[in-house]
Amino acid sequence: QEPAAPGAGSVKQQISNLVALSLRATVPEVDVEPIVEVCTGKFGDYQCNNAMGLWSKVKGSGTSFKNPNAIGQAIAKNLPACDVIESASVAGPGFVNIVLSKSWVAKRIQDMLVNGIKTWAPILPVKRVVLDFSSPNIAKEMHVGHLRSTIIGDTLARMFEFSNVEVLRCNHVGDWGTQFGMLIEFLFEKFPNWEELGSQAIGDLQVFYKASKQRFDEDAEFKDRAQQAVVRLQGGEEKYRAAWKKICEISRNEFDQVYKLLDVQLEEKGESFYNPYIPQVLEKLSSQGLIEESEGARVIFIQGHQIPLIVVKRDGGFNYASTDLAALWYRLNVEKAEWIIYVTDVGQQQHFDMFFKAARMAGWLPDPKEKKFPKTSHVGFGLVLGADGKRFRTRSTEVVRLGDLLDEAKSRSKSELLQRLTENGKIVDWTDEELEQTSKAVGYGAVKYADLKNNRLTNYTFSFDQMLSDKGNTAVYLQYAHARICSIIRKSNMDVEELKVSGNISLAHPDERVLGLYLIRYAEIVEEACTNLLPSVLCEYLYNLSEMFTRFYTNCQVVGSPEEPSRLLLCEATAVVMRQCFQLLGITPVYKL
């Protein structure tokens, strides 16, 4: 890997670079990676934990060091002189506590204010990522699980993009498979003039799907025709292709409405896209001796799994797994992705585990222990539960209409906003347009944030009351916090834009220093969220940041104080970082609430 430019990358990365130099000077005979963490105690800001491990490597080899603490002392002493570190001390068995220089922290914040938050992008060891997310199935319901996948996947994509990683946002829609036989036959039967019809005329696709399924289950003759239709579709017969296209188009229009509401970009590459690649991919695997015959099906036996991975069904048809193998092959060889990430519910974990292993058996991917690229990851998530603790459903229908859900969040936040503004007599300051935009930002943001803030593997209960509360760890609370900072800045008579260039940040008060240090951790937080594929890490940071700001604001007077210029810049920096967090979470920040 190329050495990064000085000053680039997260603070943790920069400290690690300095520690690496010190390690080389301290124990030239040993090659180790720096172990740098945020300090857990109060004697430093960051800590280096290499001494103890190094001790076990060098003791007994005639080293002049007496104990791990002595190695720690040497690491501290050998840190290169620079403007980043103010001091370093050693605690306990050899923890090296590093204190950052206040003026360096201040300068880093000021540089960001002048040159933009993009200068705080972390440097990730990957250049191109395929992110497979959302991926609903055509003509079946797009359920809350797909909403979760869409929200989590979009945030991951935004975080990687911010970190200068190229992201292919892939919508692996289920647009192929045997269900199309019955859908096509039903279309022919119900709408003989289907070719001239616009997508509206066919109406709700889910209703259509249910009705055709019922027909399929009840009428043997229809079932027969449907099965014929699959064959004719797969054989490429024109009329059947056209009908398939029509059904996909209607579905696509419905999905696109949701993506538009959520402001999510996706490129559709459905299962059908990979279909032509399946035979050659299976041929390769077969020639490697990986595919065997089992009970009439063609399968791959995988260590640690009782049942094999079926890649050709008994009827000769391909399935979900064969499609995923072909898609992975394509992503690795044609799209040249280094990291391929799949966002689905945890229920599919076994499927991913199995076909990832199959790919490793084929030599497509290195052993994960080697920590090398290319690699694959399954980003699993838990269920969305209703107030009754069961799978989330809305009152009227069995399914949850995503559009309705977002609408309700918006209208609830609008009525609360209206009520509050009316009570405060502030309603006159707001235009209808502002009201509308704000309630949308707050409402939609609340739905997204409620989904993102928990560790994605845990189930969460969907509750409008909870997510729209202005107390606790909610998007509404955070929107308020941000808007309040904006109002502080508006209230001041000073011009922040001018201050950015001419002013100076000082971190004299302890709460200023704490806030400043937390602000500059932004890059390493994004880095961690990307590395571990955990959007909740960013949510936690955003929430903590707003808490730290509150402490600062309670203890440090801003407007009207002698420190106003510096403190105003801290307010601005906090607002900028908060907005960037919102942006990565797909939430529109509001400036006035």
Using CB under 6 A, list all residues that contact ligand ARG. Answer: 132, 135-137, 172, 174, 324, 327, 342, 344
Nearer to ligand ARG, 270 or 503 (CB): 270
Angle at alpha carbon of residue 536, lines to 534 and 537, rounded to 5°? 75
**Which residue matches tokens 């857990």?**
40
Nearest to 57 by CA among 37, 29, 77: 29
Distance of alpha carbon 146 from alpha carbon 140, whole angstroms: 11
Nearer to ligand ARG, 327 or 533 (CB): 327
Q: Which is nearer to ligand ARG, 321 or 468 (CB)?
A: 321
Distances (CA, A) of 240 to 157, 184, 203, 228, 236: 36, 7, 20, 11, 7
Nearer Cβ to ligand ARG, position 16 or 344?
344
Spatial separation of the C-alpha atoms in residues 555 and 437, rounded to whole Å: 34
Residue with the shortest CB distance to ligand ARG? 135
Beta strands in 74-165 (DSSP E): 85-91, 95-100, 128-132
**Nearer to ligand ARG (CB atom), residue 488 or residue 533:** 533
Residues 6+ apart with CB under 8 A from 292: 298, 299, 300, 301, 308
- For residue 531, the minimal CB distance to ligand ARG (Å) is 22
Cα diameter, the chain: 90
Establish how many alpha carbons lie within 13 A of residue 500's alpha carbon, considering only the half-sphere containing its beta carbon: 14
Q: State how far the Cα of 185 lies from the Cα of 216, in Å rounded to an integer.
A: 10
Selection from 477, 447, 484 nearest residue 585 by Cα: 447
For ligand ARG, give the closer residue by CB, 270 or 445: 270
- Identify the DSSP state of 509: S
Q: Cβ 125 to ligand ARG, closest distance in Å?
A: 24
Residue closer to ligand ARG (CB basis): 132 or 154: 132
* Comparison of 350 and 504: residue with beta carbon closer to ligand ARG: 350
**Distance in angstroms (rounded) separating the CA atoms of residues 203 and 221:** 25
Q: How near is the Cβ of 489 to ligand ARG at its closest, in Å? A: 44
Side-chain half-sphere CA neighbours of 386 within 13 A: 11
Strands 339-345 and 128-132: parallel
**Shortest distance, position 507 Cβ to ligand ARG, whole Å:** 47
**Closer CB to ligand ARG, 297 or 346, in the complex:** 346
Shortest Å distance, C-beta 340 to ligand ARG: 9
Q: How far is the CB of 135 from ligand ARG (least distance, A)?
A: 4
Least separation in angstroms between CB 384 and ligand ARG: 15
Residue 462 carries which side chain, given as an amino acid letter? Answer: F
- Residue 259, burial from CB neighbour count under 10 angstroms (0-12, 13-18, 19+): middle
Is the CB of 271 or the CB of 512 nearer to ligand ARG?
Answer: 271
Distance CA 430, CA 435 (A): 7
For the CB of residue 251, give the shortest distance to ligand ARG in the complex, in Å: 12
| Shortest spacing between CB 356 and ligand ARG, in angstroms | 11
Q: How far is CA 120 from the centre of its chain?
A: 18
Q: Which is nearer to ligand ARG, 160 or 356 (CB)?
A: 356
Region of residue 527 (left: phi > 0; alpha: psi -120 to 50; beta: else): alpha
- Would you call 207 helix, strand, or coil by DSSP? helix
Q: Pick the closer one to ligand ARG by CB: 254 or 324.
A: 324
Sequence-separated (6 or more) residues with CB below 8 Å from residue 481: 546, 549, 550, 578
The distance of closest approach from Cβ of residue 337 to ligand ARG in the complex, given in angstroms and rounded to an integer, is 13
Q: Minimum Å distance from CB 79 to ligand ARG?
A: 47
Residue 169 or 440 with smaller CB distance to ligand ARG: 169
Beta carbon of residue 402, minimum distance to ligand ARG (angstroms, whole number): 14
CB 262 within 8 A of CB 150: yes
Q: How far is the CB of 20 from ligand ARG (least distance, A)?
A: 38
Nearer to ligand ARG, 74 or 173 (CB): 173
Cβ at position 247, least distance to ligand ARG in Å: 16
Nearest Cα to Cα of residue 542 among 506, 589, 487: 589
Parallel, antiparallel or unpaired: strands 297-300 and 309-312: antiparallel
Per-residue CA distances from 295 to 305, 308, 310, 319, 389 (Å): 17, 11, 11, 16, 41
Phi-psi category of residue 192: left, alpha or beta, with phi > 0 → left and psi -120 to 50 → alpha = alpha
